[in-house]
Amino acid sequence: MTRETIALKIKRQDAPGAKPYWNVFKLPSLPHANVISCLQEIQRNPVTADGKTVTPVTWDCNCLEEVCGSCTMRINGRVRQACTALVDILEDPIVLEPMSKFPVVRDLQVDRSRMFENLRKIKGWIEIDGSYDIGEGPVFPEKIREKAYALSQCMTCGCCLEACPQFTLTNDFMGAATFSQVRYFNLHPTGAMNKEERLEAVMKSGGIADCGNAQVCVEVCPKKIPLTESIAEIGRETTLQLLKNLVLK
Amino acid sequence: MSKLTKEDLHFFLLKLHSLTGIVPIGIFLAFHLAINSLRTVGVHQYQFSIDLINNLPFLFGIEVLFIYVPLLLHSALGFYVTFAGRMNVRRYPYYRNWMYTLQRITGAIVFAFLVYHMGTTVVPKIYYGKELFDAAPFLIDAMNREFQTWGGRILYLAGIFSAAFHFANGLWGFCVSWGMIVGPSAQRNASVVFLLFGLVLGLLGAATVVEFSLHPVPVAPSFTG
């Protein structure tokens, strides 16, 4: 598609809690441009389509190859990473909005710390430190490694939560990414040593039982992680854990 | 189990929400629609079923324990989870998101319908005391009147099909959230099977509505209340 210029309609917000407003920018359409390179162009020359000089638009980005998740935003209404949003195949004007389920820091920057706090709650790591040597990890069966690899690709970008109808700015729902990480760390033979703690962390308010199975998470996941399978699997394990707690504890 | 905290209670109640939707409410719905469809076979079979149920020992206790309390609990928790989320099917119009949305909408429809349905059938029975009147003629007369107008027919068909869908799709949700169907193809297949089951339930109910509309039963309710 050859276009002379491309318009970017950007939802802006000067500070947390401030009133959002819109700016439209017109840029020359360059081949192979992506949304990040357009934002960089605006940074160099922050003049709107009606000739007003404004503060440059802020956004987050880091890896520029869709593995860090930090440039996640709503592009033409759909949540995705800006670095892999190629301008040539996007509809004009390109509408950029920050994710709506996380508090806005400024413009397209949002604060995703809720996701990281949830990872802390579920012990999203493998415990190897201690006062004694726990030895080498057991051998990892290939079938399980394959499964774990798919889950390991989660970059905590927040797409699954942005698209989830059960996840809102104000409730305490943990969401697909967190449940999938419970499964991921429990799949690991050494990680499984903390299996019960992880399961019990999602058997609380905002946990796995709050999932409404709308399954939009799996549709929008840029890494094609089998999130709904993880949710059902954690549903199964927490159900068994509940029965175990009822009769054994 | 150790002392129940508020956080544990939340999980426990939501589990109970999905369980009560199947046992006893879903089971009741299936029997209710199936037994009522006896009306299409004959008036006697229908009347016999009403009398049989109405003469069960401890009926009031059974109704309270296995229908009214679970129904109220399921409804209250259902409204709670509905308002905890925010539907977004217009932005993300995927099949399962539609099901999620319809589940909540049909739940609200069924709730409104049940307020009417129980208000016109169960409430008079409790109010007048069941020993004061014959259940079968009273209920048959009430249904005769309902199905003489299109308003009544549409109201009941909407209630029946919403309930059938809500149960069928809820059965799917139950199996997923309790971890009985895990993989994507298992979930897809189960969805088809459960929705067909819901369709059958809905058609059973619809057949009863059609039968009542076409052939009202002449009864004289003996009403001593």
> What percentage of chain A reaches a pLDDT higher than 90?
90
B92 lies within 8 A of chain A by CB: yes
A1: amino acid identity, one letter: M
B159: amino acid identity, one letter: G
State the average pLDDT over residues A170-179: 97
Q: ∠ CA A52-A57-A60 to the nearest 5 degrees?
A: 175
CA distance A159 to B166: 28
B10 lies within 8 A of chain A by CB: yes
Residue B221: the pLDDT is 64
B80 lies within 8 A of chain A by CB: no
Residues A48-76 pLDDT 10s:
999 999 999 999 999 999 999 999 999 99
For the A5-110 domain, the top CATH level (class) is alpha beta
Contacts of A221 in chain B (CB under 8 A): none
List the single residue in B6, B100, B181 with the smallest CB-CB distance to A165: B100
Cβ-defined contact of A213 to B176 (cutoff 8 Å): yes
Tokens of A43: 């940074």
List the single residue in A216, A232, A242 with the smallest CB-CB distance to B97: A216
Question: For residue B177, what are the contacts with CB-CB under 8 A and spacing of at least 6?
Answer: A208, A209, A211, A213, A232, A235, B18
pTM, rounded to two decimals: 0.94
Radius of gyration in angstroms for the set of CA atoms belonging to chain A, rounded to a whole number: 21
Residues A70-95 pLDDT 10s:
999 999 999 999 999 999 999 999 99
Element (H, E) at A74: strand A72-75
Residue in chain A nearest B176 by alpha carbon: A232
Size of interface A-B (CB pairs under 8 A): 116
Pairing of strands A94-97, A5-12: parallel
A34: amino acid identity, one letter: N
Selected residues 141-180 of chain B with any CB under 8 Å from a CB in chain A: 172-173, 176-180
Cβ-defined contact of A216 to B10 (cutoff 8 Å): no
List the single residue in B1, B14, B172 with the smallest CB-CB distance to A246: B1
Q: ∠ CA B24-B29-B31 to the nearest 5 degrees?
A: 95
Residues B4-37 pLDDT 10s:
888 889 999 999 999 999 999 999 999 999 999 9
Say yes or no: ipTM exceeds 0.85: yes
Judge whether residue B223 has pLDDT over 60: no
Q: Which of B80, A221, A72 lies closest to B72 in space, CA to CA?
A: B80
Count other Cβ atoms within 10 Å, centred on residue A16: 12
Q: Which of B43, B214, B54, B35 lies closest to B134 in space, CA to CA?
A: B54
Q: How confident is the model at residue A2 (pLDDT cuts 50, 70, 90)?
A: low
Judge whether residue B222 has pLDDT over 80: no
Distance in Å, alpha carbon of A245 to nearest chain B alpha carbon:
6
Instruction: With beta carbons less than 8 A apart as the criterion, state whether A232 and B182 touch.
Output: yes
State the average pLDDT over residues A154-179: 98
Instruction: With beta carbons less than 8 A apart as the criterion, state whether B67 and B24 touch.
Output: yes
Round to the nearest angstrom and report the end-to-end CA distance of chain B: 50
For the A113-248 domain, the top CATH level (class) is mainly alpha
Q: What is the CATH number of domain B15-214?
A: 1.20.1300.10
CA distance A58 to A78: 19
Count other Cβ atoms within 10 Å, centred on residue A174: 27
Residues B126-164 pLDDT 10s:
787 666 567 778 888 889 999 999 999 999 999 999 999
DSSP letter, residue A86: B
B55: amino acid identity, one letter: N
State the average pLDDT over residues A22-45: 95
A64: amino acid identity, one letter: L
Contacts of A229 in chain B (CB under 8 A): 182-184
CA distance B66 to A123: 41
Residue in chain B nearest A162 by alpha carbon: B88
Q: Where are the domains of chain A?
A: 5-110, 113-248
Residues A182-218 pLDDT 10s:
999 999 999 999 999 999 999 999 999 999 999 999 9
Contacts of B184 in chain A (CB under 8 A): 226, 228-229
Contacts of B181 in chain A (CB under 8 A): 232
Count other Cβ atoms within 10 Å, centred on residue B105: 14
CA distance B216 to B219: 9
Residues A216-238 pLDDT 10s:
999 999 999 999 999 999 999 99
- The alpha carbon dihedral of A102, A104, A108, A114 has a sign of negative
CA distance A110 to A105: 5
Distance in Å, alpha carbon of B173 to nearest chain A alpha carbon:
7
